Structures are given as C-alpha cells and as structure tokens.
Structure 1
Amino acid sequence: MSRLVVLMYHALYEGEREFFAIDAADRPYAVSVSAFEAQLDILARRGLPVADPAVLPRKLDREERIVLTFDDGHASTYRHVLPRLLRRDLRAAVFVTSDFIGHRPGFCGWREVREMAERGMLIGSHGRTHRFLDDLPEEAARAELRDSKATIEDHVGGVVEQASFPGGRFRPCDVEAGILEGYRVFHTSRAGAHRAGRLPEGVLLCRIAVRQGTSAGEFEALASASPGWLLRARALGGAKAAVRWALGNGRYHALYERLAGGAG
C-alpha cells in the first residue's frame, strides 16, 4: 500500500561551531549536513520520490511518497538546505515563526525567506511567537495564526495556506480558527503516515521527526513507513503525551529543556 510520509526537520549544522551555536533545547533536533545529504541519497536509492508540498491537499500521485518540512526558519534552512534541495530539483515546506525572522540571531531574514519562496519552496506559518497554542486563550491563539499569516504574506507575497503547530500543541478550536483564517493544511507532530488518496481540506498531517541521533537504518525504516517502526513511534508519542498531560506544557517543556541542555 502506498503511503505518504511527511518528514519534520529543524536546524542543520556543519561542524561543531555551528552545532553549539544552536540553542541547547533545539540540538536534539539538529541534523548534520552530511547526515541530511545521506538521507536524501537513501530516498533516491529506495525510489521514494519527494512531492512538492504546494500540491497539498489535493490527491497525490501514488509515486509521490515523501514531503520534506522544516520548522522555525533557522538560518541553516537557507544556508544548507536550499542549495542541496535545488541541486536535486526538490521542494520543501519551510514553516517560519514570523517574529523570529529578521530579529532573532541564528534565524533567516525576510530576504532569505523571500528567496526561498522564489526558488520554489513553500513558506508556511509556525506561529507568530512560537507560543504553544493550547496554552493561550482561544482568541490569542487565533491571533498567532492570523498575524503570522498576514506578516508572511506581506513580506513574501502569495497566500499562506499551510501551518505547523509550534511544539505540536493545538486544540480542535485552533484548527477551526485556522480554517476560518484561510489555512487548508495543518502539520502536527503526531507520528504516523497517510494512505495514498485525496486529502481533505483542513487535514491534520502526521509527521515523523528526524533527529540528531537518527541513524541511516532508522531513517530508511521511517521513510519507508515500516509498520514496526510506526508502531513504536506511536507508542512513544502516546507516552510523551501522557507525561505532558500530567505535568502541563510549562513543566513538561522545562523538563525537556533541562534534559536537552544536559545532553548538549
């Protein structure tokens, strides 16, 4: 059965200096340039074509098996990802946190974001401030989606119709608000894959995170939607969700940052 796998990346790095320049909490999701290139080679070798995310949510061809996504708007997306994708004639979705762009060190400026759009990358929203939507009053959460969309459209041009939820946190009301604001596709952090076929408007896409420690063998399994790997990923995701529910977003994220900082 043909499956669509959406891969979730964050920052890329080349060498120790770039790695340690990334915020400690983000390093577990930082992937080396060499590993990323090897992963693209695996997709090509396994015959797993990369789809242009701009076609979503329409029905994908059965051959279109992989969608590449990059969260946050880190400068490495422009510096390292863009040229490597263009050399292979591939496209990806770049979800930017609009308040970070041009203001936060280590992140893209609007010139870089515009160039990525002009070179064929889909630019979507990752919120305005990266606050978790389910921590906010409903109107404030809607404003995160509305304001980031308007800012990106103003700076980049074109219509923003896809969003990635910061931290993967959202409520049904946030999806409803996003649809009212004009979003058609929502990218989550839930592990999973999708059957081939037409995707509905307002679809909640599962994604599989590629991490700093993802081995070549593991990447091959997750990109191929191995049933065993997906089962383990869903079980781990369920366990994390249970801990997050018990602790609350604030304490859970603080614990994650302490553990990530210690590992870095």
Structure 2
Amino acid sequence: MKYSLIKKIILFIFLCFIPIALSSPHALTEGSQELESMGQDGIIVLNYHKIDNMDISLSVRPEDFDKQMAYLKNNNYHIITPDDLYDNLEHGKELPSNPVVITFDDGYEDNYKNAYPILKKYGFPATIFVVSSFVSQYPNYLTWDQCRELKANGISIQSHTVSHRSLTELTNEQIKNEITESKKKIDAELGQDTTYFAYPTGTYNLYVAQMLKDAGYRAAFTIKYGTAGSSSNIFALERIPVFHTENTYNSFCKRLNYIPLFEKLGWIKS
C-alpha cells in the first residue's frame, strides 16, 4: 500500500514537471534532439488518418507531419514494417532500437498526395489500411492505381474491411464477409496476400479475432492506446494515435516519449 502511494506521488511530481520542461525554449524545437528517446520496451505503432489542412482532429497538417517524420529521423527512431513487428512478437526476431511502425486508417487520397512524398523524403515505409469498397469509388479516397504505386514504393496496403462498419455490431455472416471479401479484393487488385487488418472504430472481440486468424490474417491493430509488446494479443495490437491539436508537434513528441516511459514504470498498462 505504501509503495503504491509512493508511485502515485512520484507520478504526480513527474506530470507536474513535464509542462515546465516542455515549455522551456530548448524543448521540442523543430529538428531538436534536446528531448531524446527515454527508451522503449515495446514497439510504437503510430496511427494516422488524414494528412491535410482540414481543421479537424483526424487531419494532421502536411507541415506538421513533415516535422514529425524529421523528429523520428533525427532522434534515433527506426521505422519498421508490420512484418518486422510480427516476426519479433511471434518469432523473437531482433529489432533495431526504438522501433516505430507508421500506419494510416481508411485510405484517404491525401495519404497519397501529401503523406507519401514526405515518407519518400525520409525513406520511411508505412502501412495504409483501406476500406476496399471505397477505393476507386468515392472522391477523396485512394484509387487502385495509386495503391499499386504506393505498394511499389514501400507503402503496404492492408485491410480495413469492405464498408467500415463496426464488426461487433454485425451478424456472423456479415463479419465474415467484411473480413474475407476485403482481403480477396485487395489480393486481386494488388497481386498479394493481405495479412494485416485494422478494426473499424477499434471494436473487436475474441470471436472476431479468431475469424481473422481463420481467414488468413497474421495480426490485427486496434485503437487501444499503448505500445505493442510481448504481452500484447497479436490480434489486438495497441497503437498511439496522432491528432491535430493546438500544438500538434508538441503533442506528438509528448506521446512518443512519455507513454512508453509510463508503461515501463508500470504507471499505465498497455
């Protein structure tokens, strides 16, 4: 009981210190290496949606995204693929220090127009989870030709269902259709074996996870906040969402550095 109280006191003091540290003129400047990675035991999986200038939480401005990618490049983070993550969690493959997976949900066209050139600039791979029935059908979503170009240049295209409905609200037959038909469509269009999945709205249960496994997927990503590690369910992998905020760059750096630290200290559980 006494130890738990001490931890809470230390956490309170530390949280009070963060705003002071980050408000200093040396903290979190563009391209800064002042705030170095505090070490991470798990794998950070960043979760983006839109990269554009819309004034909504899901839209990270291109200039902010560029700053974030520069921060990763300049601060000893190493961008890995979902295959690397899977091989580490399932087979113990060694990873570089401070591994990060970059993911996008929904398959917006701005991922191609705005995020893709920046990712190429820094030589970073990424993964886009597309809603298969939206591709080449709706304005502001990717086309299959764009997906093919992305795939040819290090951007993996994976499944986010057929229609972006919450799977836990569907019948068994509907769930199976969303899982299998999206995979079939992506496989046919891109000539690949689609093996990764992101849950629409983040909703899932163990039954849905088993259906994914039966359909041939290797892993699935949630919107559960935290880092992925040895204690993670391979079909319920944690991610760290990145949103547009009053100071998007500062928010990004705080999440990148302090969430893994809190997990390491046992103050939050992934």
- Which is further off, 205-214 or 150-159? 205-214
SS in 1 for 2:79: coil
Query: Which amino acid is 1:206 matched to?
Result: E
Counterpart pick for 1:44 among 45, 64, 73: 73
Please list, as runs of the form range in 1=range in 2, the aligned pairs for 1:46-85 lying within 5 A after superposition: 46-59=75-88, 60-85=94-119
Q: Which residue of 1 aligns with 2:198?
A: 164
Give 1:170-209 correspondences, 5 Å limit: 170-195=204-229, 202-209=234-241
Kept in 1: contact 2:226–2:260 (CA 8 A): no
How far has the Cα of 1:217 moved from its partner? 2.4
Shift of 1:228: 4.4
Provide the residue aligned with 2:11 in structure 1: none
2:264 & 2:252 partners in 1: Cα distance?
12
The alpha-carbon deviation at position 234 of structure 1 amounts to 6.7
TM score, norm. by length of structure 1: 0.78
Contact map agreement 1:51 1:64 (CA 8 A) in 2: no
Inter-partner Cα distance in structure 2 for 1:126 and 1:230: 30
Q: Which has the higher helix share?
A: 1
- 1:234/1:9 CA distance change after superposition, 3 Å: farther
**Structure-2 residue corresponding to 1:219:** 252
How far the C-alpha of 1:119 sits from its partner, in A, is: 1.0
Q: 1:151 to 1:186 in 2, by over 3 A?
A: same
Moved over 4 A (4+): 197-200, 228-231
TM-score (norm 2): 0.76
- Match of 2:141? 107
| Structure 2 spans left out of the alignment, 5+ residues | 1-39, 89-93
Quick one: which amino acid aligns to residue 212 of structure 1?
Answer: H
Aligned to 1:167, what secondary structure does the other structure show? helix
Give aligned-pair identity as a percent: 25
Q: CA RMSD in A?
A: 2.5
Cα separation, partners in 2 of 1:80 and 1:54, compared to 1, 3 Å: farther
Return the letter of the residue paired with 2:248.
Answer: S
Q: Which has the higher contact order (CA 8 A, sep 6+)?
A: 1
Q: Deviations over 1:132-181 (max 9, x none)?
A: 00110122112101000000010011110000000101121111000000
Secondary structure class of the residue paired with 1:158: coil
Amino acid at match of 1:4: I
Instruction: Give the 5 Å matches for 1:6-25.
Output: 6-14=45-53, 19=54
Check conservation: 2:132, 2:160, Cα contact below 8 A: yes
Whole-angstrom distance in 1 between the partners of 2:268 and 2:47 = 15
The alpha-carbon deviation at position 203 of structure 1 amounts to 3.8
Larger Rg: 2
